[in-house]
């Protein structure tokens, strides 16, 4: 049965090669049927890779330990849910998932453009299928999921217990849906460059094809942080780890692009910059996948021995060269249509916003690559850890947040300074007053105060925007305030959906500020029955129990949590030993509320019954996840399909240029 899977992959390789050749040949010779054949080949690749995925899934579910992969990542005792998730639990499987998502997106894009943007489609297919070939080659030669063992073991090793967690099941697919999605804008960009059709038509498709992967990437990153927080047990959620950075960099670039693309749509500006961003997103996505796969960060020597790294690097170099050559070739056609009219305009604030975002991305890239580069160049290994990133990215991030508060107050093209000053007044005053109050109440950490002030300022401007917009609609027609509010959002989805997304970001900053600046950490040594006070909580260690489950055994501590005499909850921090992997794990006990998280780790225990606990009180962490949900909501509003009002169709529509059709979309 598994031969089918291996065969399907090899077949897919041939078909992908065919697709690339047919597409390029077809566009060169002007033969439509060749291009149509290439399109079908793209569908074919999707079908074949799906067969391979299904074959692997089947092997997992039937516990076919003949396959080395299946023996590595699953065992008979694992719950079925996790056996299925093991499909992407190991190296080979997750590469296959990446490839499958790429094949899916490619098929979707091709189907979507059966009758649109025909000039770009051949080049897009070539780009996407070449990317697929990279992964197909790796899967066939270096990381074969269908490799057989000479003898099937009776039982498999099983998935690392740390990965047997719902968050860790969702995180890789989400992340990949994001990463892979960013190859599509690149395909469009190459299509536009190669075909010479550089007008703004392709931008419209690209916007959606960037926003959806961006959203999924955001969710993927947040899920990963949440998993790290809940499972890894060090009290934090982000460590500026190379793997984490690898997912953040394309995200930052994507955020920059989502803003600067509006400049191009409205004013025909930043054409070269946007192209560069699209190329960068792609390279960072592939590079990010490479970073998390090849272990290059651990040591340059390890990388040199891994064949995987070579494939990736060669491909990246090749892609970069091709993209840059095409870009340079079309440079004359990419000049701006308009110029900036005023420094006080939304355009310039978008420009600054892009600089900050790309700046932060560059800092993360520098910090991630510096160790490797210094080792390769000087032979001296330097380590770059969290303090570096925090020191630099915190001020930059806060400046960016401030900018996001200022920007809604500024109009497109040209804003009037005195109007701006007037509108600044309320949010700024609010921020100042609140900060002053907090300071007098005892909050003295300067960074936290500044951060909070900026959060308040940004929230203030967003609320003000909603208020002013609702008021305009409410005054102009006889509707209720609520109806005016909904109409406002409905007619300006991008703008107000965008504001909601910004608000989600503010909440995330709030969560980060609270949990970084005011974290309490305490070690407790308690014998059964004893209590201790941490922050405002009183913790009583009542007993220690042994636990025996089919897959693990462990020790469980019971802790009664109360505050000001009132019983709140009972927490059970645990230490487990999983039999199959002979791996000990620590299970964190967590109590979440809007104000803070109580986070308890069972650090150790003696035969006498005395146990040591590490306790964290992390304020405002919940707001990180709430902020994430708000971002999702905002993005859905932005993406919600517009009631089509004959966009390009009816140019004969009566035009009284004094009033403009109310169903058009704007930002």
Binding residues among 470-499 for another protein as defined by CB under 8 A: 472, 492
Please identify which residue in 450, 463, 586, 590 interacts with another protein, judged by CB under 8 A. 586
Query: 237 vs 311, which CB is nearer to another protein?
Result: 237
Q: Does 295 bind another protein (CB under 8 A)?
A: yes
| 553 contributes a contact to another protein by CB under 8 A | no
Nearer to another protein, 51 or 443 (CB): 51
What whole-number distance in Å separates Cα of residue 345 and Cα of residue 420? 11
User: Which of 48, 215, 263, 334 touches another protein by CB under 8 A?
Assistant: 48
- Closest contact distance (angstroms) between CB of 607 and another protein is 10
Tell me, residue by residue from 4 to 23, as one string, x for binding to another protein by CB under 8 A and - for no binding: x--xx--x---x--x-----
Distance CA(257)–CA(274), nearest Å, equals 6
Q: Select from 520, 517, 533 the least CA-distant residue to 443.
A: 517
Look at residues 115, 114, 122, 275 and name the one whose alpha carbon lies nearest to residue 185.
Answer: 275
Q: Please, which residues bridge with residue 495 across strands?
A: none
Site for another protein in 137-156 (CB under 8 A): none
Q: What are the residues facing 589 on neighbouring strands?
A: 600
CA distance 128 to 147: 26
Among 111, 317, 321, 343, binds another protein (CB under 8 A): 343
Q: Looking only at residues 233 through 292 of this chain, which bind another protein when binding is defined by CB under 8 A? A: 233-236, 239, 241, 243, 265-266, 292
DSSP state of 269: -
Beta carbon nearer to another protein, 319 or 371: 371
In angstroms, give the least distance from the CB of 343 to another protein.
Answer: 4
Binds another protein by CB under 8 A, chosen from 77, 340, 434, 486: 340
Q: What DSSP string runs through 101-119?
A: HHHHHHHHHHHHTSSSSTT
CB of 346 to another protein, least distance (A): 9
What SS3 class is residue 285? Answer: helix
User: Which helix (DSSP H) or strand (DSSP E) does residue 386 occupy?
Assistant: helix 386-406
Other CB atoms within a 10 A radius of the CB of residue 594 amount to 10
Q: Shortest approach of another protein to residue 321 CB, angstroms? A: 26
Per CB under 8 A, 654 contacts another protein: no
Distances, alpha carbon 518 to alpha carbons 134, 209, 448, 513, 637, in Å: 47, 39, 9, 8, 34
Smallest distance from another protein to CB 659, Å:
9
Q: Which is nearer to another protein, 578 or 632 (CB)?
A: 578
Q: How far apart are the C-alpha atoms of 343 and 67, rounded to whole Å?
A: 63
Q: Which residues lie across from 552 on neighbouring strands?
A: 578
Number of chain residues interacting with another protein (CB under 8 A): 121
Q: Is 409 in the site for another protein (CB under 8 A)?
A: yes
CA Rg value for the chain:
27
The candidate with the shortest Cα–Cα distance to 463, out of 499, 509, 490, is 499
* Residue 31 binds another protein (CB under 8 A): yes
Under the criterion CB under 8 A, does residue 447 sit at the interface with another protein?
A: no
One of 58, 424, 579, 605 touching another protein (CB under 8 A): 605
Query: Is residue 384 involved in binding another protein (CB under 8 A)?
Result: yes
Q: Specify the residue, 1 or 376, whose C-beta has the smaller distance to another protein.
A: 1
Question: Which member of 66, 585, 628, 635 binds another protein (CB under 8 A)?
Answer: 585
Distance (Å, whole) CA 419 – CA 433: 22
Contacts to another protein from residues 153-212, by CB under 8 A: 160, 162-163, 168, 199-201
Closest CA to 57 of 28, 21, 97: 97
Residue by residue, DSSP assigns 212-261 as HHHHHHHHHHHHHHHHIIIII-SS-S----HHHHHHHHHHHHHHHHHHHH
313 contacts 372 by C-beta, under 8 angstroms? no
Beta partners for 543? Answer: 558
Rounded distance, CA 214 to CA 167, Å? 19
Contact between 395 and another protein per CB under 8 A: yes
| CB nearer to another protein: pick between 295 and 535 | 295
Q: How far is the CB of 667 from another protein (least distance, A)?
A: 7
Of 523, 529, 563, 567, the residue at the interface with another protein (CB under 8 A) is 523
- The span of 499-507, 563-571, 609-617, 628-636 binding another protein (CB under 8 A) equals 609-617
CB 437 to another protein: min, Å: 27
Under a CB-based contact definition with an 8 Å cutoff, are residues 395 and 451 in contact? no
548 is a contact residue toward another protein (CB under 8 A): no
Please identify, among the stretches 269-277, 391-399, 505-513, 566-574, the one whose residues bind another protein according to the rule CB under 8 A.
391-399
């Amino acid at each position: 049965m598994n031969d089918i899977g291996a065969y399907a992959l090899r077949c897919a390789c041939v078909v992908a090669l065919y697709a690339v050749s047919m597409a390029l040949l077809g566009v060169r010779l002007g033969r439509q049927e060749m291009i149509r054949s290439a399109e079908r080949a793209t569908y074919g690749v999707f079908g074949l890779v799906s067969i391979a995925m299904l074959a692997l899934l089947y092997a997992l579910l039937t516990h076919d330990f003949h396959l080395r992969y299946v023996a590595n990542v699953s065992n008979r005792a694992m719950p079925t849910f996790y056996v299925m998730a093991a499909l992407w639990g190991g190296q080979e499987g997750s590469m296959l998932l990446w490839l499958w998502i790429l094949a899916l997106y490619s098929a979707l894009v091709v189907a979507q453009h059966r009758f649109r943007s025909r000039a770009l489609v051949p080049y897009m297919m070539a780009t996407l299928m070449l990317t697929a070939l990279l992964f197909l080659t790796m899967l066939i030669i270096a990381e074969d999921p269908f490799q057989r063992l000479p003898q099937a073991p009776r039982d498999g090793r099983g998935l690392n217990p740390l990965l047997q967690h719902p968050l860790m099941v969702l995180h890789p697919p989400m992340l990949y849906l994001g990463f892979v999605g960013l190859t599509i804008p690149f395909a469009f960009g190459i299509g536009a460059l190669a075909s010479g059709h550089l007008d703004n038509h392709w931008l419209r498709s690209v916007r959606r094809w960037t926003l959806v992967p961006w959203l999924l990437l955001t969710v993927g990153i947040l899920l990963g942080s949440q998993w790290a927080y809940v499972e890894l047990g060090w009290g934090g959620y982000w460590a500026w780890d190379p793997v984490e950075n690898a997912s953040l960099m394309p995200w930052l670039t994507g955020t920059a692009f989502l803003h600067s693309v509006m400049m191009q749509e409205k004013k025909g500006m930043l054409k070269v910059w946007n192209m560069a961003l699209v190329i960068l997103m792609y390279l960072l996505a592939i590079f990010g996948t490479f970073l998390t796969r090849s272990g290059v960060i651990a040591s340059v020597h390890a990388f040199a021995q891994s064949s995987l790294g070579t494939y990736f690097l060669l491909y990246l170099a090749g892609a970069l060269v091709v993209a840059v050559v095409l870009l340079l070739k079309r440079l004359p056609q990419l000049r701006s249509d308009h110029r900036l009219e005023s420094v006080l305009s939304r355009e310039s604030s978008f420009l600054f916003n892009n600089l900050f975002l790309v700046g932060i991305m560059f800092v993360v890239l520098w910090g991630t690559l510096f160790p490797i580069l210094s080792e390769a160049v000087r032979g001296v290994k330097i380590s770059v850890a969290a303090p570096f990133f925090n020191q630099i990215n915190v001020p930059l991030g806060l400046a960016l947040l401030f900018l996001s508060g200022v920007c809604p107050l500024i109009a497109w093209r040209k804003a009037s300074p005195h109007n701006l000053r007037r509108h600044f007044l309320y949010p700024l005053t609010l921020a100042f007053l609140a900060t002053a109050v907090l300071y007098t109440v005892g909050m003295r950490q300067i960074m936290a105060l500044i951060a909070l002030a900026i959060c308040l300022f940004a929230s203030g401007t967003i609320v003000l925007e909603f208020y002013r917009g609702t008021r305009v609609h409410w005054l102009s027609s006889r509707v209720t305030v609520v109806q005016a509010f909904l109409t406002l959002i409905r007619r300006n989805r991008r703008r107000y959906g965008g504001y909601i997304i910004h608000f989600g970001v503010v909440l995330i900053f709030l969560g980060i500020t609270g949990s970084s600046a005011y974290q309490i950490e305490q070690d407790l040594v308690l014998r059964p029955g004893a209590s201790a006070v941490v922050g405002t909580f009183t913790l009583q260690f009542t007993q220690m129990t042994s636990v025996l489950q089919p897959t693990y055994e462990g020790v469980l501590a019971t802790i009664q949590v109360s505050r000001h005499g009132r019983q709140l909850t009972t927490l059970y921090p645990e230490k487990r030993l999983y039999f199959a992997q002979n791996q000990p794990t620590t299970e964190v006990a967590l109590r979440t509320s809007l104000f803070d998280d109580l986070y308890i780790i069972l650090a150790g225990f003696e035969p006498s019954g005395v146990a040591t606990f590490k306790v964290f009180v992390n304020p405002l962490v919940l707001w990180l996840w709430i902020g994430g949900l708000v971002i999702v909501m905002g993005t859905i509003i932005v993406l919600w399909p517009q009631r089509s009002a004959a966009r390009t169709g009816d140019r004969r529509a009566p035009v009284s240029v004094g009033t403009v059709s109310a169903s058009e979309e704007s930002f």
